[in-house]
Structures are given as C-alpha cells and as structure tokens.
Amino acid sequence: MEHLINKKVKNIEISGIRKFSNMVAGKEGMISLTIGQPDFPTPLHIKEAAKTSIDENFTSYTHNAGELELRKAASQFVHNKYNLSYDPSNEVLVTVGASEAIDVTFRTILDKGVEVILPGPVYPGYEPIIRLCDAIPVYADIRDTSFRFTADVIKKYITEKTRCIVLPYPSNPTGVSLSKEELMEIAALIKGKDIFILADEIYSELLYDQKHVSIAEFLCEQTIVINGLSKSHSMTGWRIGLLFAPAYLSQQIIKVHQYNVTCASSVSQRAALEALTVGINDAEPMRDDYRMRREYVYNRLTSIGLDVVMPDGAFYFFIKVPTTKLNSFDFCLDLVDKVNLAVVPGSAFSALGEGYFRISFAYSMETLEEACNRLEKYMTTYMN
C-alpha cells in the first residue's frame, strides 16, 4: 500500500547531517565532528529540579502553552538578555524543542504557493516543513557576502508571493551572525509589508565577540522569535523550545501546537524553569570554553591553507572544499576513507552549500586536536 503514502512526505529526504553521521557510525577508529550537540552535561541543579518534580508527582498535562510560571520566566529571560517584551499570558509558547516551534509557525502562516526566503547555505530543517505546507522555499545566495544575510541580499528575492523570511543567527552551518545595524536595515526593509520574519535564535547565548540582538526589538509585530534551551543549557534531549510572538499571531499558533503535541513535557518544563531562573547565566562557562576551541580550530584550519570564515557564534566552521576534483559528499567520503575523519558535506545545507563542508567544535579539545591532525595529514598527503 506504499502508493497511498502522501507524496510530499515521500519526496522529503532524511537530513544530510544525520545521513552522513549514521553512515560512518561505528566505524573503528573514526573521529566524528558531525553532530551539533553540546558536549557538556546538563547542569546539575537543572537535573535536580527535574528529579524533584517527579518526586512531587508533577507528571500531568500542563496548560497547552506551558506552565505560566515558566512562561513568565521565559519572558523575563528575553527581556533581561535581549530587551524584548512579551506578555507571558498570551505571547509566549513552550514547545517540544525549537523544531516544533518552527513546524507550528510555518503551518500557521503559510498557504499554498506562497514563498519563504531562506539564506543559502542553511540548516536543512526548514525546507521540508515549508514543502509540506505547499509553500515554496526560495534560497538567497549568501556565499559572496561572507555568509551574511543582509537587507541588500534579501531585497533581491522579495516578490509579491513572499510570505516569510527565515533569519537564523548565529547560523548553522556557518556560525555567522548579524549586527544590530544589519538587523535594523532588514527591519526597515520589511516593516509594513505583508511579510513575517521567523527569527531562529537558538544559538543566541553562544555569541563570542558581540552581544546578541534580536530583530524583534525593531520589528516585533511581524516577527516570530524561536529560541530554546538545547544549546544554551546543554538540554538537547529535554526538548524545550520557546516561541515568542505578538498575541494576534501566538493565539493562532497555539491551536496548531495543541493538536500537534498538547503540551511540552511537564518534567522538562520544571527543569526549564530552573534553567531560566537559577541558571540564567549557565551558558557563560560553556561559551568561554567554546571560544577557546574556536580560536584553536581556526588557527589550525588557516595554518594548513583552508579557506574559512571565522564564526561569530554557535559551534561550527563552514569550510571550502580544497579541491575541485571532488564534490562535497565525495570529499567527505574521502576524508573518512583516508584519515578516519567524519565531517558533514556542504550539500546537506542546500545546493548553495555545495563545495563546502561543516565541522562542529562542540567536542573535547583532545578530540579537536586529533581531528585537526588528521585533516592536516589529509591536506599534506593527498592535496599536494
């Protein structure tokens, strides 16, 4: 009965990141820099809060939008950190990870045939949902702007069908972010148009040389801010996302969320409350460690002649493939074969990622040192 399966679902590809990671998993002696997951444990006080919630039988459904106390804490968090103001009673939604927040947002604002502008290269999790909504992804080429998704780039792709612009910063896979001035220019370009901004700010607490600024500070009525605790508090498996949007919009999004998941895990919500209050600055020591790793890896990459843009945030380098003889997928397979090093082909991040590969530096310094040694061996042995 396979012919009865929804054709849009059948046409979706498994994420290229996971596909490549799964392909090399279990290979003896392999070093993998493929997965973008913090290598720190969830802070102890957060885990203890979750244990307490279980002991206190806080294991039932919560409000569809999430516990009010948690929504208040989330509202206070983005106010303290990013100068944003959202009413916790009707403008904050707790979701099952940032991924669900993206899903329910697109299903709320997209109609058949409308267009969504994405920077390319970009995280592969947006396009499948856009297509499931019968909308059209439009990739804006940011390769010639050092991966900066600026107003000058965006305006070239706006048409009468544009419904949404996805603004992910700091970016996966490039680590590039946007300055306050660049965000103000984008806000000025979009203000008053029938266009939403989906600002995916999941890496907002992992910015190394500047303070994160949200475009919602300048364009609140047209912006949906997506955030969460996976990266900032090393809570990927807890699946807590946060969605902030003006009430006219959030009160429609919650309908989709309600019928999708009912509510986020009650135990995870209690852990999230601890993270956003007692652990409001938990990201700082992790960020300091990532910063040192970034400097080390950047110096190693450039010393062996690789072409790479220094990331502003997140924990990725997006590196130009050092040969024209191999496409990005075959180059990454060659790294696996020759030096037992797994990285992610740039083609996983749209066609505009072809010719690049991504490495994650969310690994121990020991692992990163050995990975760089293997990459250097590959460059000196097989590229000369």
Q: What is the mean pLDDT of residues 286-295?
A: 98
Q: Which residues contact 179 (CB under 8 A, 6 or more apart)?
A: 210, 213
Tokens representing 333 are 């397979």
**Phi and psi based region of residue 165 (left: phi greater than 0; alpha: psi -120 to 50; beta: remaining):** beta
Q: Does the pLDDT of residue 384 top 70, yes or no?
A: no
pLDDT at 13: 77
Tens of pLDDT, residues 244-255: 999 999 999 999
If you average pLDDT over every residue of the chain, what do you get? 95
pLDDT at 11: 83
Give one DSSP letter per residue of 65-130, joined into a string.
T--HHHHHHHHHHHHHHH-----TTTSEEEESHHHHHHHHHHHHH--TT-EEEEEES--TTSHHHH
> 210 to each of 179, 248, 299, how far by Cα in Å?
8, 32, 20
Tens of pLDDT, residues 340-364: 999 999 999 999 999 999 999 999 9
d(CA 252, CA 112) in angstroms, rounded, equals 18
Q: Please, what are the domains in the chain? A: 2-42+282-382 (3.90.1150.10), 46-276 (3.40.640.10)
pTM score: 0.96
| Cis ω for the linkage preceding 246 (within 30 of 0) | no
